[in-house]
Structure formats: C-alpha cells, structure tokens
Structure 1
Amino acid sequence: MPELVLPTTRVRHSFLEAMDEFVAEGAEFSQTAAWIDAHAPGWHDPTAFAAFVEAVRADAEEDSPRPEWHVPCTTLWWVDGEDYLGRIAIRHRLTDFLLDVGGHIGYDVRPTRRREGHATAMLQQALPWARDLGIDPALVTCDEDNLGSVRVIEAAGGVLEDVRGIKRRYWVPTS
C-alpha cells in the first residue's frame, strides 16, 4: 500500500526509472525537472544519490543553505515498498511568487502511474504534515487546463479563490 515517506535511498532504482519517464515526457518547470537538471548525472552512483537524498531532507530545516528566493520545504516521496510513485513538496511559508503562482504544496506522479488515484491520496495524506508545520489552510495551485489536478485539489476540499493568468489558486483546509 502506498505511503508518504521522507526521501530514502531504498527506492533509488525505481526513482531513476521515474526520472527517465519525466525526461522522456519533457518535464519542465517543476521541482522534479529542477532535480533532473541539477543532479541526474550523479544519481547512478549510490553515494551521490545518498547525498542528494540527504540534501532534499535537509531542505526542510530553517537554517539549511538555499537560494535567497527559496523557503524551507518538506519533501515527501509517495512509495509502495521499493517503488517510487511520486513526490509532494510542502513549502513552509509563502513568498510573493508562491502566493501568486506556486502555493504551499506542489506534487507530481511519475508518468506511468498517473490516473490511478495517487495524486489524490498523496495530497490528502500530506495535509496533516502541512497542519503540523502551522499551515492552515494551504494554498495549492494548478494550471487552468490541468483538469486532473483540479479534481485532486477539489477532492481535498480545495476552494477556488481565483485564477491568475493560467494558474487556478485554491485554499485547502489542513485540519
């Protein structure tokens, strides 16, 4: 049964397969695409992958080094045993950009495992994590034409505030 876990090396092989799927799909403008751009060549080395996992986990810490425009972010991986299915990121606070476009929570599901209910389950299980970080409600955004994400967010109780450009902005209760 799938579960949210902190990033772990035990899913490395499946994670690498998932990243290949995102590359084949042409993924861009997401955290996963940024990971691929910055780290993919080293992931085949288990030691480098372990360092990547630790860096992703450390990003949740307030005092971890990060670009000035980034905020602390708890990243959780959606896994089933040793199978990596997706990831969800909970940004601890909003910058002007995140308030306008990115939101508190972002997620993606590996391409070959979409339309199986993973995003819905992942978001619902992440809401208590957000609440424990003091986030209530959480801002979750999606592209206006992403009907799958619209359904996921609305199933979690998301209430549409507005549409800004191509982004639909929802407030989702975490308690």
Structure 2
Amino acid sequence: MPELSPPVERVHESFLAAMAEFRAEGRGVPDDNSMIGHDLRTYGDTWADPDTFARYVADTRAQALEETPRPEHFVPSTTLWLIDGDEYLGRVAIRHRLNQHLLDEGGHIGYDVRPTARRRGHATAMLRGALTVAKELGIEPALLTCDTTNTVSRRVIEAAGGVLEDERNGKLRFWVPVG
C-alpha cells in the first residue's frame, strides 16, 4: 500500500526510472521551473551513483531545517515521497513559508506523480498528507497553484476544498483549508 515517507535510498532504482519518465515527457528543460525540472537539471546526470543518490536523499531531507544553507530565493521545505515498497510513485513538497515568487506562482505545496503511476488517486493522497504536515507547521490556509491548462491538478485541489483566488502568470491560485 502506498505511503508518504521522507526520502529513502531503498527506492533508488525506481526513482531513476521515474526521472527517466519525467525526462521523456519533456521535463528538466531550461524553462521547466518545477521541482522535478530543477532537480533533473541539478542532479540528473549524477543520481545513478549510489553515493551521490545517498547525498541527494540526505540533502533533500535537510531542506526541512531552517539552518540548512540554501539559495536566497528558496525557503525551508519538507519533502515526502509516495512509495509502495521499493517503488517510487511521486513526491510532494510543503514549503514552510511563502516568498514573493511562491505567493505568485509556487504556493505552499507542490507535487508530482510519475507518469506511469498517474490516474490512481496518488496526487489526492499526497495532497491530503501534505495538508496534515502544513497544519503541523502552522500554515492555515495553504496556497496551491497549478497551470491554467492542468485540469487534473485543478480537480485535485478543488476536491481538497481549494477556493480559486485568481490567475497570475499562467497559474491558478487556490487557498485550501488544512484542518
């Protein structure tokens, strides 16, 4: 049964397969500003090495700590992976606070489901779990965004109680209650 987990090394092989799926659908190109796009560009050529992957897992987990060094425009964030045994299905990131970019386009919560695992309710499950974490972090309500053309993500957000506020820069902005 799929579960949300902090990043773990045991899904290495499946994680690499998932990232190849994302690349095949065009993710990781210079104008892909998503979490997956950033990580594919930054780490994608080095993940195959088990030691490098272990450092990536540790670094991703450390991003939840306020004291972890990060680029100026990044905020602390808790990343959880949806896994089923040793199979990586997707990830969700809960950003602990908003900066101007996140307020306009990124939101508190972002998620990705690997292409071969879509349309099985995984995004809904990840968002449900992320809202619980957001509540524990004192976030109320949570801002979520999606591309104006992403009707699937829009339905997931609305099903969680998301209320559309507006559109900015091609992104729909929803406020979602966490409790």
TM-score, normalised with respect to structure 2: 0.95
1:4 has 2:4 as partner: yes
Structure 1 counterpart of 2:41: 37
In structure 2, C-alpha distance between the alignment counterparts of 1:23 and 1:165, rounded to whole Å: 24
Structure 2 counterpart of 1:66: 70
CA contact (8 A) 2:141 2:177 kept: yes
Q: What do residues 105-135 of structure 1 show as CA deviations (whole Å, max 9, x unaligned)?
A: 0001001111111111110111111111111
Q: How does 1:54-133 map to 2 (within 5 A)?
A: 54-133=58-137
* Bigger mean CA offset, 156-165 vs 97-106: 156-165
* Aligned-partner residue type, residue 142 of structure 1: C
**How many percent of aligned residue pairs carry the same amino acid?**
60
- Give 1:29 deviation, angstroms: 2.1
CA contact (8 A) 2:105 2:169 kept: no
- Give 1:14 deviation, angstroms: 0.3
1:25 has 2:29 as partner: no
CA contact (8 A) 2:76 2:97 kept: yes
Q: Which runs of 4+ in 1 moved over 6 A?
A: none
TM-score, normalised with respect to structure 1: 0.97
Structure 1 counterpart of 2:174: 170
Q: How many residue pairs were aligned?
A: 175
Structure 2 counterpart of 1:14: 14
CA RMSD of aligned residues (A): 0.8
2:45 aligned counterpart, secondary structure: helix
1:144 alignment partner, one of 131, 135, 148: 148
